Structure 1
Amino acid sequence: MVDYTNYWSVRAETPAKQIIRWIGIAQSKYFDWKKRYGKANEHNGAVPRDFWLEDWEKRAILDFHQTNPLEGYRRLAFMMLDADIVAVSPSSVYRVLRDAGAMDRFNGKKSKKGTGFKQPVRPHDHWHLDISYLNICGTFFFMCSVLDGCSRSIIHWEIREKMEETDVEIILQRARENHPDAKPRIITDNGPKFISRDFKEFIRIAGMTHGKTSPYYPQSNGKIERYHRTIKGDCIRESQIKTVDDARRIVKQYVQHYNEVRLHSAIGYVTPLTKLAGEEKAVFDSRDRKLEAARETRRLRRQQQAA
């Protein structure tokens, strides 16, 4: 290709860049070929290097490690070097032990931080509880919400002037009164209201269990965090709220819309109330039937038009 381009560049008195542009070759590719012009083609496979360890050296490292299992790889490297067993660097010893799986004991148990909870399969398996702030005409109020982790339904909520441990217990008890047969696992963060001895005792007496999220990782309680962000962005900040009574009235309307009207993307675009009642399969089947009927109608209409 280099000879071809040079030949026609001279004959046509045209720059080589124009020739390769007409041919459809990238300039970078052409100049790579030109740089390698006249050189022998070589394979690009792995070429053995002088510093690569031989098999007997790898076996010697593993045998020495089994003899001294409590020593770190750096100390092993210098011990073998002093004993004239094998002359290798600490990094080479590390790679050999790592590839052989002998470094697992140094890794320790992996942290579960950020992995979240095992997702609930039924309504009322998990209730997420969290507190958020509301700024109403320069005064801060507390909004506490209880959200079902499976259906994303808001079980109960309240706006209060203060939010102490007793207030949280009252809100949670009222949520239980709406569903007296539920024995959920309560998911909270590590706030002082949720780690107190009295709150733990309340959870135990009520027959529920308590799970706390990872410290400094609010994403692990992301369902309720996302709901609070949604209600603030779509409801509270879009409304003219002058008093706390206005806030309670507007939030009540939005929660009803959120539970009964708004389609939730995380549960297959059905309403949280539908998911809570276990009726989502009937909705999915109805949608499938409607789509199939519409496809059949289009097919028959095309056949009639083609006839």
Structure 2
Amino acid sequence: MVRDEALEFIKYWSMWAEVPIKHLLAWLALPKSTYGTWLKRYGIGNRHNGLIPRNHWLLEAEKQAILAFHHRHPLEGYRRLSYLMLDADVVAVSASSVYRVLKEAGVLDSWQTKPSKKGTGFEQPLAPHVHWHTDVSYINVAGTFYYFCSVLDGFSRYIVHWELRASMKEEEVEMILQRAKELFPGTTPRVISDNGPQFTSAPCGYRQRL
């Protein structure tokens, strides 16, 4: 091995040239820590970093037994399956092992009938009065600041209703939305806001359709 040959080279010339090893290491640009590690591993072959099979890993027959038992009990969760299989003397494995086997087989997500839209962006409305966007901001009128609340249609970007108020509480937000609703009777828009305290309080109920 090149490593052991390098150690023998350093020892040989340190002895015959009567040069301290630390000087040879400096000339060779070899760190002392590396030299010390090499000494501890002298005569030992290099080991790879690949996965080493463990005696507690599941056998293929055990994985198939878990999948077969899950097929017979599709409504049971993976934790309960581990206990049921232990009682039935099918296979003795942990709940985490059952989860990994079912996950690799792709049977854990079978209950999801609709894929998640998380991370795909906001879904724009395809018709008027489906989404109403509302927000509260400040506006200076003749040196006095008022609360400006506007209701905007998400499809047409049309301002459905707006009001200026000296204060902005949840009751006032509810009143502004109700007046906007009265302008377009028969519509049931979803109100979208920035989750401010005026919108997240219980009386307002902004998450529900108007």
Q: Normalising to structure 1: TM-score of the pair? A: 0.43
Q: Which residue does the alignment assign to 1:19?
A: 26
The structure whose residues are more often helix, as a share, is 1
Match of 2:174 among 192, 200, 206: 192
How far the C-alpha of 1:92 sits from its partner, in A, is 0.8
- List aligned pairs for 1:123-142, cutoff 5 A: 128-133=133-138, 141-142=146-147
Is 1:60 the equivalent of 2:41? Answer: no
Q: Does 1:50 align with 2:50?
A: no
**Structure 2 letter corresponding to 1:93:** V
Kindly report the root-mean-square deviation, in angstroms, between the aligned alpha carbons of the 2 structures: 5.0
Match status 1:213 vs 2:189: no
Q: Distance in 2 between matches of 1:195 and 1:111?
A: 30
Partner of 2:96: helix, strand, or coil? Answer: helix
Contact kept, 8 Å, 2:134 with 2:151, in 1: the verdict is: yes
- Would the alpha carbon gap of residues 82 and 147 (structure 1) be closer, same or farther in structure 2, given more than 3 Å must change? closer
Structure with bigger gyration radius? 2
- SS of the residue 2:81 aligns to: helix
Total equivalences in the alignment = 184
Q: Is contact 1:203-1:210 (8 Å) kept?
A: no
Cα distance per residue 1:154-208 (max 9 Å; x no partner): 9x9876535699x9xxxxxxxxxxxxxxxxxxxxxxx635654x43343457xx8
1:249-300: CA deviation from partner (whole Å, max 9, x where unpaired): xxxxxxxxxxxxxxxxxxxxxxxxxxxxxxxxxxxxxxxxxxxxxxxxxxxx
Gapped runs of 5+ residues in structure 1?
121-125, 168-190, 219-307
Letter in 2 for 1:13: P
DSSP 3-state at the match of 1:62? helix
Q: Which runs of 5+ in 2 are unaligned?
A: 126-130, 198-210
The answer (yes or no) to whether the contact 2:135–2:194 under 8 Å persists in 1 is no
Residue of structure 2 aligned with 1:81, choices 68, 86, 89: 86
Residue 117 of structure 1: which of 112, 118, 122 is its match? 122
Counterparts of 1:146-157 in structure 2, within 5 Å, are: none
- Structure 1 residue 129, shift from structure 2 partner: 3.6
